[in-house]
Amino acid sequence: MAATTKRFNMVQKIINAHLISGTPEAGQEVGIRIDQTLTQDATGTMAYLQFEAIGVPQVQTKLSVSYVDHNMLQTGFENADDHRYLQSVAAKHGVYFSRPGNGICHQVHLERFAIPGQTLLGSDSHTPTCGGLGELSIGAGGLDIAVAMGGGPFYLTMPKVLRVELKGKLQPWVTAKDIILEVLRKLTVKGGVGKILEYTGPGVKSLSATARATITNMGAELGATTSLFPSDENTREYMKAQGRGKDWTPLAADPGATYDEELIIDLNKLRPLIAQPHSPDNVTEVSKLKTIDVQQVCVGSCTNSSYTDLMMVAKMLKGKHIHPSVSMTVTPGSKQVFEMIAKNGALADIIASGARIIESACGPCIGMGQAPSSGAVSIRSFNRNFEGRSGTRDAKVYLASPETCVACALTGKITDPSTLGKMPKVDIPEKFVWDDNGIIPPAKDPKKVEVVRGPNIKPLPVNSPLAEKIEAPVLLKVVDNITTDHIMPAGSKVLPLRSNIPAISEFVFNIIDPTFPKRAKEAGSGFVVGGENYGQGSSREHAALAPMYLGLKAVIVKSFARIHRANLINFGILPLTFVQASDYDSISQGDKLEIPDLAQVIKVDHPFPVKNLTTGKSFQVVHGLTDRQQEIIMAGGLLNWTKQQSAAAPAPKAKTKAKK
Ligand code: MIC
Ligand code: SF4
């Protein structure tokens, strides 16, 4: 009898080739070797302060890149100081530095660095963008990146693999953005938690590398660990046009590979879609909203700012004018895109239409400028439309393709682009322009580099080891789908404080209850109680670190978003889940809760009681921590734990090439 050969899907191939510990079965914790890391400035200052604290002199990865793209407005010294720190610390420790103006981290990484079959860990939730090129790309907190740069494995609960079969062909004016909006409509913002989406099927071939990257980018909004496309001829052509043909390797699932779940999307049936305020899964057809007036349109962000996106925008705007009641901004995703549209004249067409051009950066996506006017309708090609994120609390932000954005900008109303006639054609160029002068390599002689720290960079607060018990009030009770933008807001006022935890902690939960920081400090310790999908959205570890600084000891919820739960553990905050979701209703803000014998209950992954001292009742919770995570919580966080371990064995080795 012939022996049965194992057939692997793409996720299994890459994980197997990078496995350091654990069994790669859904639900089990695995440790994987990380080939590449990326950081951006808003999370990077913390990540490098943590890397310095770990004490490894040079990064141990194949490639680490530090991008500056978020904190670009320099209205005071703070952001500029952070940029200078990031540049010097990168030079000293073997990290490539993508200087301000070189572009948005995910766009630049896709263009210049992503390699099919490798692993990428990034301190930004949209790191999965590079899954569009077949790289297993995962977002995590800065401390996880610091550990990976030091050569440590990245631990994750092995996700289920969801096969998304794309069948058929997109109709004119229907784009990659509409595919991911359809997936969001079907699965919701929590439908991807604990899963990796693997795209297959005949429709894949019709999508360019940058179109695929739009889909993998916005897979983050599903709460998915990541999303992955095969590496095929389209991938090879894109990499060749980037002068990186030699880095290309094929990646495909074995015929007959198995999956945990399946979703079929018929591309023929898709229409232009739009996500309505205030959630990326609140999706409907654009044509259904045609009477709504529009005040602002923004094209850009890491989701839709590639060369092909901007060429489409230019072709649609050529010879036309933006509607007088609309303010339109256009952001090229990278210096490469900017330079190419400038050279071929497309930029002139965009300028002539009346659009406002913004430097290559995150900009309006993270509330760094271009906050809409009061109550405005803003149509954006971005990935998140959480309440208040634009910088204007009562703005109504919609998410749509660049094509839909331009249609709205031209008419002043929400407009289905298919009403505009023939769709222009845009191809990936045979050769992109690159010279990489925006990427500064690490110093040849690191010893000579002095790391420059401005007064904005404050020492990193570190938690203390776990106490014997927690007896503290419920400082805040919140509803389902609370985002990290609720917990730790961003925007132009708050982002410059990312390397100053005492200062930034004053803004914790500001959108929900501005009295939180004061009350937390007065109480000295406390709980937060929440609903489903708590902490969805960004990877910002400040949403754990700043509450920790204010005294938060535990969060009790119906369910967590992946990255935020990991960040809570990293900073020694207990993540607890109700055994009975209905117990949520028995707790009120202000109730005093008690968890005695902490050391005992942490050691086993069993339900244990929390006493509500105010009502006299008890309810059951679970922590679901692995043995390693239990130790981390006991130690008061990952940094303390890593230091404890650092004297131990050298970084483990793993095979690095994925099987074809
Ligand atoms: C975001 O889109 O929310 C951000 C800003 O890029 C964050 C990172 C951060 O808060 O610094 C993310 O997505 O992880
Ligand atoms: Fe930047 Fe927006 Fe992308 Fe976050 S989602 S990395 S803020 S462009």
Asked if pLDDT for residue 658 goes beyond 70, the answer is: no
> In this predicted model, what pLDDT tens digit does every residue of 231-277 receive, in sequence order?
999 999 999 999 999 999 999 999 999 999 999 999 999 999 999 99
Amino acid letter, residue 355: A
pLDDT at 644: 80
Q: Which protein residue's CA is at the shortest distance from atom 12 of ligand 1? A: 538
Q: Is 69 a catalytic residue?
A: yes
Asked if pLDDT for residue 123 goes beyond 70, the answer is: yes
Tell me the best of 365, 399, 484 to mutate to test the pocket of ligand 2, counting ligand atoms within 8 Å of each CB and taking the most.
Answer: 365
Query: What percentage of residues in the chain have a pLDDT greater than 90?
Result: 95
**Closest by Cα among 429, 376, 383, 388 to 402:** 383
d(CA 522, CA 382): 39
Cα 362 to ligand 2 centre (Å): 5
- Of the residues 18, 70, 112, 623, only one is catalytic, namely 70
Q: Coil, strand or helix: which one is 265?
A: strand
Please give the number of the atom of ligand 2 that sits closest to the Cα of 538. Answer: 4
Strand 261-266: give its sheet, edge to edge: 226-228, 195-200, 160-167, 261-266
Please name each of the domains of the chain with its CATH number. Answer: 10-269 (3.30.499.10), 273-418 (3.30.499.10), 470-645 (3.20.19.10)
d(CA 658, CA 234): 19
Q: Is 15 exposed, middle or buried (0-12, 13-18, 19+ CB in 10 A)?
A: buried
Q: Is 346 exposed, middle or buried (0-12, 13-18, 19+ CB in 10 A)?
A: buried
Q: Which protein residue's CA is at the shortest distance from atom 13 of ligand 1? A: 538
Q: Is 540 a catalytic residue?
A: yes
**Closest by Cα among 144, 22, 102, 89 to 563:** 144
Given pLDDT bands bounded at 50, 70 and 90, which one contains residue 59?
Answer: very high
> In this predicted model, what pLDDT tens digit does every residue of 565-606 receive, in sequence order?
999 999 999 999 999 999 999 999 999 999 999 999 999 999
Cα 366 to ligand 2 centre (Å): 6
Asked if pLDDT for residue 649 goes beyond 80, the answer is: no
Q: Is 564 a catalytic residue?
A: no
Q: Is 266 a catalytic residue?
A: no
Please give the number of the atom of ligand 2 that sits closest to the Cα of 303. Answer: 3
Q: Is 384 a catalytic residue?
A: yes
pTM over the 0.85 mark: yes
